[in-house]
Amino acid sequence: MPEDPHSSETWLPGRVLVQAATYNERENIGPLIDAILASSAEVQLLIIDDDSPDGTGQIALERAKCEPRLHVLIRRGRRGLGSAILEGFLLARSRGFAVSVNMDADFSHDPADIVRLLAALDPVGGVPVDIAIGSRCVPGGRTLGWPLSRHLTSWLVCWFTRWIIGVPVNDSSGGFRAVRLSILDRIDIGRFAQGYAFQEDFLWRVHRANGRIVEIPITFSDRTRGSSKADFAEICRSTRDLLRFARRTWLGR
Ligand SMILES: Nc1nc2c(ncn2[C@@H]2O[C@H](COP(=O)(O)OP(=O)(O)O)[C@@H](O)[C@H]2O)c(=O)[nH]1
Ligand SMILES: [Mg+2]
């Protein structure tokens, strides 16, 4: 099989790799790259694109030619937000990064919050944290611009994850997280949910491994450019995955 298109094999040494999975984010990708790289000189950025028909991956590849802190992988023949995030984690670890920050590519997550999430991983005088979640559901956190239907779906998913699957987190479905990659050595990384339910799946595994998880308030703003990929098919797939996690939690399989 031909290799996936990607940017240069030469990577600068670094500690923090921000990663954003993209699918048809043409209107967002340029400003997103600028904003993330400007958020901190410490971070590098990996764009994992699933061969977007609108050319998002190609735009990012062009930018990477003259930006050494930007890396791009265009995956061919596979799709899914969860599988993209997992591939990003493994790539980050293989390149020697200690921390990955995951975020959406539609500006729902504010790149300016990256430094707050990173600081939360290493609280001064406190115990190091494995995952710092950018949370909409703790005091100070909020969601702007969503219709009632999305508030309700999100509330239901978070309720289910907390009380049926048993993950003690308020915002389990958000995708803005700083993750200490050493946690990957303590969890089973096989057979993850491939789609959006990866977010709950990952927290479930980290919680079971006694990983430390904290929530930091963020403001989530609904996208103003491009469209959501959380379509009916994705909602059905995530619902099926969540029901499987409930079975795994209660029946052990
Ligand atoms: N690589 C990749 N990224 C995806 C896929 N589906 C969604 N995304 C990205 O995941 C992020 C969240 O998706 P979005 O459509 O904003 O979902 P919503 O915020 O729940 O409406 C965005 O950056 C999308 O471009 C996928 O199949 N592959
Ligand atoms: Mg979005």
155-187, pLDDT tens digit by residue? 999 999 999 999 999 999 999 999 999 999 999
- Residues with Cβ within 8 Å of 27's Cβ and at least 6 positions away in sequence, in order, are 225, 226
Residue bearing the CA closest to ligand 1, atom 21: 228
Count of C-beta atoms within a 10 Å radius of residue 194? 18
Q: Identify whether 113 is part of a domain.
A: yes
C-alpha closest to that of 197 among 252, 150, 160: 160
| Ligand 1 and 154: CB distance under 6 A | no
Alpha-helix runs per DSSP H in the chain: 26-39, 56-64, 81-94, 114-121, 148-163, 198-208, 232-251
| Ligand 1 and 87: CB distance under 6 A | no
| Ligand 1 and 25: CB distance under 6 A | yes
Ligand closest to the CA atom of residue 28: 1
C-alpha closest to that of 223 among 145, 132, 157: 145
Q: Identify whether 5 is part of a domain.
A: no
Q: Identify whether 60 is part of a domain.
A: yes
Q: Band of the pLDDT at 212, cuts 50, 70, 90? A: very high
- Find where tokens 């990577």 sit: 11
Range of the domain at 21: 16-248
CATH of the domain at 58: 3.90.550.10
Q: Identify whether 1 is part of a domain.
A: no
pLDDT of residue 2: 75
Query: What is the CA(2)–ligand 2 centre distance, in A?
Result: 31
Query: What is the CA(252)–ligand 1 centre distance, in A?
Result: 30
Ligand closest to the CA atom of residue 22: 1
In total, the chain counts a number of residues equal to 253
User: pLDDT tens for residues 53-70?
Assistant: 999 999 999 999 999 999
Q: Identify whether 9 is part of a domain.
A: no
| Ligand 1 and 57: CB distance under 6 A | no
Q: Identify whether 232 is part of a domain.
A: yes
What is the reported pTM?
Answer: 0.97
Q: Identify whether 138 is part of a domain.
A: yes
User: Phi, psi (5° rounding) for residue 116?
Assistant: -65, -40
User: pLDDT tens for residues 228-244?
Assistant: 999 999 999 999 999 99
Instruction: Quote the number of domains for the chain.
Output: 1
| Ligand 1 and 230: CB distance under 6 A | yes
| Ligand 1 and 104: CB distance under 6 A | yes
